Amino acid sequence: MKEHFKILKGLPPYGDMYFSVPPNGYREYSEGFVVEFLKRDGKRWIGNFETGNSNLEFVCRLGDDNILVIARGICYMIDPENHHSFEIPGFDYKNVVEHENLFILVGEYSITVVRSRQEVQHFPNLCLDGISDVRIIGDALHGTLHDFDSNGNFTETHFTLDLDTFKFKTLNNRKSWWEILK
């Protein structure tokens, strides 16, 4: 089976014009993350992807024939047959964890789980100061959320995300100040 994509080092100096993704992005004429796609009929086309705020560059094929592209933090799903793109919320994805037929995208403040174009679960604004220690145990994603409060106190909250039901649960042993007064 042929590979359906190839990461290029830059825009080719000759050939057909590339497609900017997203169309009319603010860096439309700058060089971003460049990927060559192969259609079923053997024709090739070049996508020039607007980049985000991390160093993560990742491309893989999903089960529904779409291609998942992470261009230095910004995530897109591409239909290689007709150049359609779909942007997934987030601009700072820094890690991808694969589990069975799921791709778990971990950003600084959010997590997104992708199975196909129709099945995307986004968990935004989980914390203020980063997500770390992400790992899979069984059928659950585990990790730590980091926050600083207005007094400069640092808190770590452990979490689990059930990858079958997509239920997100924090495991925090600290009581809030109003619970102490009960």
Question: CB pairs under 8 A, 24+ apart, for 66-73?
Answer: 66/116, 66/117, 67/4, 67/5, 67/37, 68/103, 68/114, 69/21, 69/33, 69/35, 70/96, 70/105, 71/32, 71/33, 72/33, 73/107
What the block records as the tokens of 34 is: 């460049």
Instruction: Give the mean model confidence (pLDDT) for residues 119-142.
Output: 95
Averaged pLDDT score across all residues of the chain: 88
Q: Which of 22, 91, 88 is nearest to 52 (CA)?
A: 91
Instruction: Give the mean model confidence (pLDDT) for residues 90-115.
Output: 93
Question: What CA–CA distance (Å, rounded) separates 15 from 90?
Answer: 32
Whether the per-residue pLDDT at 100 is higher than 80: the answer is yes
Q: How confident is the model at residue 175 (pLDDT cuts 50, 70, 90)?
A: low
Question: What CA–CA distance (Å, rounded) separates 163 from 152?
Answer: 34
Q: Exposed, middle or buried by CB within 10 Å (0-12, 13-18, 19+), for 115?
A: middle
Q: pLDDT over 70 for what percent of the chain?
A: 90
Domain boundaries in the chain?
1-89
pLDDT tens-digit readout, 37-61: 999 999 999 999 999 889 999 999 9
Q: How confident is the model at residue 180 (pLDDT cuts 50, 70, 90)?
A: low
- Position 25 scores a pLDDT of 65
